[in-house]
Amino acid sequence: MTLPDVTEKPAVRGEPTEVADGVHVIADNRVPLVPNVGIVVGDRAALVIDTGIGPRNGEYVLGQARRLAGGRPLFLTTTHFHPEHGFGAQAFRGEATIIYNRAQRDELRRKGPGYVEMFKGLGPHIATALDGVELVEPDVVYDGEAELDLGGRQVTLASAGPAHTIGDQTVLIDGRVLFTGDLAETRMFAITPHFPPHDADVDIDGWIALLEKLAARRPEIVVPGHGEVSDVTLLHDVRDYLDFVRSEAQRSQGRDLAAATAEISAAARNRWPDWANPEWIDFAVRICSPAQ
């Protein structure tokens, strides 16, 4: 199974929009391989969440962060190691304190070079974006959770994987604004990155359980990895979709996998007709199938 070529430049563009006090988002505008980027500004420091893919996107995000921070010290974290979320980090080297959880740091070391080569194969726009990319080690590594006091803005970084990746991280600001990374996308079928030999660690069971846990906290604002800013209903929506695929795949045990996959994919498209990126349904079905 392969992904289609990306025909649009994966450029982070536009001005940050304030979605809560001190919490700004540079919207992805539903452009493939562009994430929602967060910039959280406190009285004493500012935090950047995700960088975009490659050094030029990282430089753009750094410029926006400097403008909003107004001379305050910068921190950078990424929701997970995937290229469109963290492979612009080299622009922040020496400019910000970079923080990853240990699982994410280790996953970047193991899988990062393979992902660079794999993503370059998605088309010339991606190859150009990754030209000159360097994988960057964090300055600070944490286990479990880490608290950042930006001054009037309290940030909780929490290890969340394995789910979408082993090293998933959620970022919660003031107990009310949640950045999920690719644990959730708005009106998009969940990205299920099963790419042997580069990656085969996605955990659907863990993902569903995590979404239930996050939804129980009732965040007021949810910033997904891709798609429009939403609220707690987004977490329920993604959980329901993943549970649907898991249940249908398990129910199809013993059937021809290709036929079952086609049937489940058609049912999912019918149930969520306005969701984008239906190519991910087949990946999810195969991960959840007992024979996988």
Mean pLDDT of 121-125: 94
Percent of the chain with pLDDT over 70: 97
pLDDT band at 180 (very low <50, low <70, confident <90, very high): very high
E-only strand ranges, the chain: 17-20, 23-26, 37-41, 46-49, 74-77, 97-101, 140-142, 145-149, 154-159, 169-173, 177-185, 221-226
Instruction: Give the β-pairing of 177-185 and 169-173.
Output: antiparallel
Using DSSP, state whether 52 is helix, strand or coil: coil
Domain residues for 224? 17-232
The pLDDT assigned to 196 comes to 87
The pLDDT assigned to 142 comes to 98
Q: What is the CATH number of the domain that holds 183?
A: 3.60.15.10
The pLDDT assigned to 100 comes to 98
Q: Does 80 fall in a domain?
A: yes
Nearest 5°: the CA angle 279, 221, 152 is 135
Burial 136-158 (b: 16+ CB within 10 A, else e): bebeebbeeebebebeebebebb
The whole-angstrom separation of Cα 138 and Cα 89 is 9
Q: Tell me the one-letter amino acid at 88.
A: G
Mean pLDDT of 169-186: 98
The mean of the pLDDT values for the chain is: 96
Q: Does 123 fall in a domain?
A: yes
Is pLDDT at 4 greater than 60 in this prediction? Answer: no
Q: Does 273 fall in a domain?
A: no
Is pLDDT at 198 greater than 90 in this prediction? Answer: no
Q: In terms of residues, how long is the chain?
A: 292
pLDDT band at 3 (very low <50, low <70, confident <90, very high): low
The pLDDT assigned to 197 comes to 84
Number of domains observed in the structure of the chain: 1
pLDDT band at 2 (very low <50, low <70, confident <90, very high): low
Is pLDDT at 238 greater than 80 in this prediction? Answer: yes
The whole-angstrom separation of Cα 51 and Cα 113 is 18
Q: Does 247 fall in a domain?
A: no
Mean pLDDT of 88-93: 98
pTM of the model: 0.96
Mean pLDDT of 105-128: 96
The pLDDT assigned to 292 comes to 47
Q: Does 96 fall in a domain?
A: yes
Q: Does 10 fall in a domain?
A: no
Q: Is 34 exposed, middle or buried (0-12, 13-18, 19+ CB in 10 A)?
A: buried
Centre a 10 Å sphere on the Cβ of residue 276 and count the other Cβ atoms it contains. 16
The pLDDT assigned to 7 comes to 76
The pLDDT assigned to 1 comes to 45
Please name the residues in contact with 92: beta carbons below 8 A apart, sequence gap of 6 or more: 48, 51, 58, 62, 74, 76, 98, 136
| CB contact at 8 A, 65 and 91 | no
Q: Does 277 fall in a domain?
A: no
Q: Does 158 fall in a domain?
A: yes
Is pLDDT at 214 greater than 70 in this prediction? Answer: yes
Is pLDDT at 215 greater than 80 in this prediction? Answer: yes
| pLDDT tens for each residue of 241-283 | 999 999 999 999 888 999 999 999 999 999 999 999 999 999 9
The whole-angstrom separation of Cα 61 and Cα 47 is 11
Name which of 43, 35, 29 is nearest 61 in CA terms: 35
The pLDDT assigned to 290 comes to 67
